[in-house]
Amino acid sequence: MINITLPDGSIKEFPNSPTGADIAKSISEGLFRNCVAVEIDGEIKDLNCKIEKDARVRLITTKDKDALGIMRHSAAHVMAHAILCLYKQAKLTIGPIIEDGFYYDIDMEPVSQEDFLKIEAEMQKIIKAKLPFARKEIGKKEALEFYKEDPYKTELISELEDGTISFYSQGDFTDLCRGPHVPHTGFIEAVQLTKVSGAYWRADQKNDQLQRIYGTAFFSQKELKAYMRFLEEAKKRNHRKVGAVLDLFSFHDEARGMPFFHAKGMEIWNTLLDFWRKEHKKAGYIETKTPLILNRKLWEKSGHWENYRENMYTTKIDEEDYAIKPMNCPGGMLLYGLKPRSYKDLPIRAAEIGLVHRHELSGVLSGLFRVRAFHQDDAHIFMTEAQIHDEILGVLRFAEKIYSTFGLDFHLELSTRPEQFIGTDEQWETATSGLEAALKIYNKEYKINEKDGAFYGPKIDMHIEDALGRTWQCGTIQLDMSLPERFDLSYIDNRNEKVRPIMIHRVIYGSVERFLGILIEHFAGRFPLWLSPVQIIILPINDEIIPYAEKVKAEFENKNFKVEIDKRTESLNKKVRNAQINKIPLIVTIGAKEKEADTLSVRTLDGKVKYGIAKKEFIDKVIDNISDKNLKLIF
């Protein structure tokens, strides 16, 4: 007799080894029809997996959060099956699920989005056939024999430990796979291919370039259509496209992955940093600056030369090895160690907007989101053990204040010790416990990412949510007890004894470049007035009004407003349209009537126009809106 304990605590008995399907059928036929897989003692398995002993079981239906990933994994197999039907010489490599769908890397002739329709049509044939996903386990030798003509699968299998290896088949298609999968292909109700790109086998430029075909899948057409609408909106907000229209930044082959900021981009950049500096000063931070290039001895002491060298740009100066800094931390250690410190000096909150360089593969570069040169808004907080909770809580509340200014909410994730690390077990335990304790006091839900910490300490990551509901990891708080030891940092405590300080690494924007890219997409280029690179544009009705419009412009500039005047000999409608394309928040029209009455006609980006606004009233409202950092214009 097999006893199955369900999530509600009830127990069902089965005379023989039941499958997840048997358990679902014993409850109701409707439940069985909607079951995708089964969780057995915490491990997700195929629905037809036999349960050989007493177990805790959770049935996973199409409404379950885990179901979508399982179905998308199956959809990747269906896509691979369809491609092999259409492209006989294609060779499969790997096909994982990703956040919004799946992809498969395939060695095949180049394809484009024009080819998607025929691939999707072939996929629909496989889906309508409701082909069962069948699991088979074979020995490593037999698996290598099966894939003897496929160098990619052979390489993958060769790296596996000896023992049985699982394969999945649907119809005449078989693929190396751990599973699990949905019961049959008919569960894939709505699927669509989204894009194709090049990818090197195992992300190594020395290897063959493959076709990476992306797709997504849902349990209903309604969900798929909603997602495709989301993609269209995301495409409109794409920061590279919007940045080009607004003349904010550009990229050039002469410095791949390293952005060039234009005058208007620098206006936003400087506004972000002015805000950052004022808020940090109020929060008790000092600002420092460390060199861009430091020698190998420093990076060996910090552990970066051993653990991070492949991502670093190196050079030689006077026959000595140097590296361009990928992080600001080691320079901060040197500054702290310059002079003796007392417990009365702590905490020391030292911030730095530091330019760092990291060697990213060309294939992963992505606008401002993934670059090789970027500015980190770092801070290193040196403190006593007794100050850990207050300082971590201080950073969390400080980050909340910064993000809320932009209308951004966030969630928290705690990442623990990775496979490669420096420091002792005891140090890691103390550091991790300190972060957990502070999170509990902060009283905001968080999730744990096992083994995803930095090599020098555990961390709290802050994932902000934009206007489209997408999340972006920006802020991070890393508690470090190792680097202070490596750099022999100390302070004198209240017993006049030398003690090692504890240290926090933290960023809020993360990368200033990336944060700006996020803001461009969050606001769709329609920045709030305080952040806009051009806040006001003046449109004189005719050439006779231009001298007066220039005086108004000068008056606005005296109030530190960012203002332009459009003196082109174009129609007013064309000028207005151009200002709207450039997403300028306030479009001020001046004619003879406005000059006579000392008033303004003001149009906002929502299309509303107000006539006869007194100039002083306009100036006061703009000043209030900017100083309050309002997210919406109130006119």
Backbone angles phi, psi at 546, to 5 degrees: -55, -45
Q: Do 278 and 199 share a structural domain?
A: no
For the chain, the domain total comes to: 4
Q: Do 479 and 412 share a structural domain?
A: yes
Residue 566 forms part of a structural domain = yes
* pLDDT per residue as tens digits for the range 570-619: 999 999 999 999 999 999 999 999 999 999 999 999 889 999 999 999 99
Point out the catalytic residue in the list 380, 417, 506, 595.
380
Q: Do 476 and 446 share a structural domain?
A: yes
> What SS3 class is residue 232?
helix
Q: Do 111 and 198 share a structural domain?
A: yes
pLDDT at position 422 over 80: no
Point out the catalytic residue in the list 72, 358, 375, 417.
358
Point out the catalytic residue in the list 58, 72, 239, 459.
459
What length does the chain have? 635
CATH number at 550 reads 3.40.50.800
Give the contacts of 111 (CB within 8 A, at least 6 positions apart): 119, 196, 211, 213
Residue 528 forms part of a structural domain = no
Q: Do 342 and 257 share a structural domain?
A: yes
Point out the catalytic residue in the list 81, 264, 370, 505.
505
Q: Give the angle 612-618-619 at the CA atoms, nearest 5°.
A: 150
| Burial grade of 406 (CB within 10 A; 0-12, 13-18, 19 or more) | buried
Point out the catalytic residue in the list 45, 329, 461, 474.
329
Q: Do 150 and 278 share a structural domain?
A: no
Q: Return mean pLDDT, the chain.
A: 94
Domain boundary among 46, 61, 76: 61
380 catalytic residue (yes or no)? yes
Residue 194 forms part of a structural domain = yes
CATH number at 221 reads 3.30.980.10
- C-alpha 417/C-alpha 478 separation (Å) is 11
459 catalytic residue (yes or no)? yes
> What SS3 class is residue 442?
helix
Q: Do 143 and 195 share a structural domain?
A: yes
* pLDDT per residue as tens digits for the range 149-173: 999 999 999 999 889 999 999 999 9
Q: Do 554 and 517 share a structural domain?
A: no
CATH number at 419 reads 3.30.930.10
Residue 26 forms part of a structural domain = yes
- C-alpha 472/C-alpha 634 separation (Å) is 29
**Structural domain boundaries, residue 544:** 536-627
205 catalytic residue (yes or no)? no
Residue 311 forms part of a structural domain = no
329 catalytic residue (yes or no)? yes
Residue 435 forms part of a structural domain = yes
- C-alpha 375/C-alpha 328 separation (Å) is 10
pLDDT at position 143 over 80: yes
- C-alpha 43/C-alpha 20 separation (Å) is 12
Residue 305 forms part of a structural domain = no
Q: Do 260 and 172 share a structural domain?
A: no
598 catalytic residue (yes or no)? no
Point out the catalytic residue in the list 170, 211, 376, 535.
376
pLDDT at position 511 over 90: yes
Q: Do 207 and 87 share a structural domain?
A: yes
Global pTM reads 0.84
Domain boundary among 12, 31, 61: 61
pLDDT at position 252 over 80: yes
Residue 634 forms part of a structural domain = no
Q: Do 371 and 513 share a structural domain?
A: yes
CATH number at 13 reads 3.10.20.30
What is the reported pLDDT for 457? 85
358 catalytic residue (yes or no)? yes
Strand partners, 46: 37
Q: Do 618 and 604 share a structural domain?
A: yes
